[in-house]
Structure 1
Amino acid sequence: MARRPDLVGLTVLAMLSLRPAHPYELHRFIVDTHKDYVTGLPRSLYHAVEKLAGQELIVPVETSRQGRRPERTVYEITGEGRRELATRLRALLESPGAERRTFTAAVSLMGVLPVPDALQSLRTRAASLEGALAGLNAHLDALRTSGLPEVLTVELDYERTLGEAELAWVRRLVARLDSGELTWSATLNEGLLADVLDEPGGAA
């Protein structure tokens, strides 16, 4: 059985690639930006931070305490962490899978990649979807030719419909990136993260 991707760890790496932060800030950002694919908060987040630190993908850079609040440790991503983030994220963008929540997470975080990298990964995904749909259509045609009642292949038609919808969406996204209608920069993303964290009620 294939291992499920670590979406919590991926999100931590993505956020820390924009600026150093402590886990409470990361928790607030995840909640405030409705990254609902991250489950098990806050325990899953602190576990991911501990695991990433153990792998030296992130490192502590500052520890502080304000008043009677718990001590907070600020982490930053390492060079190896940035490479791991790019590798994991490109893989999730490129490879269609059964769990659509994974692609939702990858699209949600793709702004930490350079636009050309994200564009190339999405083109790869589109090609994979096209191949999968061609194979599924051929399979359905063969089943119909064999005389199998259509009611026994309804689930395959459902799967095909979902695949066609995803392919159409990915193609539109590729076209927007290719034309420059949709674009981003690391500076912009860092500013967005800062804006969320600096809102009233944000992390102290």
Structure 2
Amino acid sequence: MARRPDLVGLTVLAMLSVRPAHPYELHRFIVDTHKDYVTGLPRSLYHAVEKLAGQELIVPVETSRQGRRPERTIYEITDEGRRELATRLRALLESPQGERRTFTAAVSLMGVLPVPDALQSLRTRAASLEGELAGLNAHLEALRTSGLPEVLTVELDYERTLSEAELGWIRGLIARLESGELTWSGTVNQGLLAEVLDEQESES
């Protein structure tokens, strides 16, 4: 049985690739930006931070206390953490084998990749989906030719319809990236993301 991708850890790495932050800021950002694929908050977030720190993908850089509030530890991503983030994210963007929620998470965070890398990963996914659809169409045609009642294959038709819709959406996204209609600077739209995190820090 394949391991489920660690979407919470992936999100923590992505957020810390923008700037150092403490877990409460990350929690607020996830909630405020409706990253609904992240479940089990806040426990899952703190567990992910602890695990990533144990793997030395992130490191604590400062501990602060404001008034009577509990101490807050600020973490930053390491060079190894950045490499791991890019590797994990490209894999999730490229493979159509996982849950659709996983692809939602990958698309949500793809701004941490350079545009050419994100574009290449999306092209790889599109090619995989095209191959899967060709095989599925051939399989459905063979079943129908065999005289199997259509009611016994409706679930395959449903899967085909979902895959066709996803492929159409990805092709549109690729076209927007290729034309420059959708783009970002460097490896992430750091200005926007950092601004949101800074607002949260001033409110907390």
SS in 1 for 2:189: helix
SS in 1 for 2:62: strand
Computed over aligned residues only, the root mean square deviation of the Cα atoms, in angstroms, reads 1.4
AA at the equivalent of 1:90: R
Q: Name 2:184's counterpart in structure 1.
A: 184
Question: Could you list the runs of 5+ residues in structure 2 that have no partner in the other structure?
Answer: none
- Output aligned runs, 1:104-143, within 5 Å: 104-143=104-143
- List, as ranges, runs of 4+ consecutive aligned residues in structure 1 with deviation greater than 6 Å: none
Deviation at 1:195, TM superposition (A): 2.1
AA at the equivalent of 1:70: P
Question: Could you list the runs of 5+ residues in structure 1 that have no partner in the other structure?
Answer: none
Query: 2: CA distance between counterparts of 1:111 and 1:102?
Result: 16
Query: 2: CA distance between counterparts of 1:150 and 1:156?
Result: 10
Q: Name 2:149's counterpart in structure 1.
A: 149
User: Contact 1:25/1:203 (CA < 8 Å) preserved in 2?
Assistant: no
User: Contact 1:58/1:76 (CA < 8 Å) preserved in 2?
Assistant: yes
Report how many aligned residue pairs link the two structures: 204
SS in 2 for 1:134: helix
SS in 2 for 1:128: helix
- Output aligned runs, 1:63-74, within 5 Å: 63-74=63-74
Query: 2: CA distance between counterparts of 1:18 and 1:199?
Result: 14
1:98-127 CA distance string (max 9 Å, x none): 410000000000000000000000000000
Deviation at 1:161, TM superposition (A): 0.3
1:149-204 CA distance string (max 9 Å, x none): 00100000000000000000000000000111100024862221222223378553
Query: 2: CA distance between counterparts of 1:93 and 1:30?
Result: 20
Query: 2: CA distance between counterparts of 1:201 and 1:16?
Result: 14
- Output aligned runs, 1:20-169, within 5 Å: 20-169=20-169
TM-score of the two chains, using structure 1 as the length reference: 0.96
Query: 2: CA distance between counterparts of 1:198 and 1:176?
Result: 30
Distance 1:136 1:181, change over 3 A: same
Greater alpha carbon shift after TM alignment, 91-100 vs 8-17? 91-100
SS in 1 for 2:87: helix
SS in 1 for 2:153: helix
Query: 2: CA distance between counterparts of 1:109 and 1:200?
Result: 19
Query: Percent same amino acid at aligned positions?
Result: 89
Q: Name 2:18's counterpart in structure 1.
A: 18
SS in 2 for 1:199: helix
SS in 1 for 2:73: strand
Distance 1:202 1:45, change over 3 A: farther
1:66-102 CA distance string (max 9 Å, x none): 1100000000000000000000000000000241000
Greater alpha carbon shift after TM alignment, 151-160 vs 191-200? 191-200
User: Contact 1:16/1:76 (CA < 8 Å) preserved in 2?
Assistant: yes
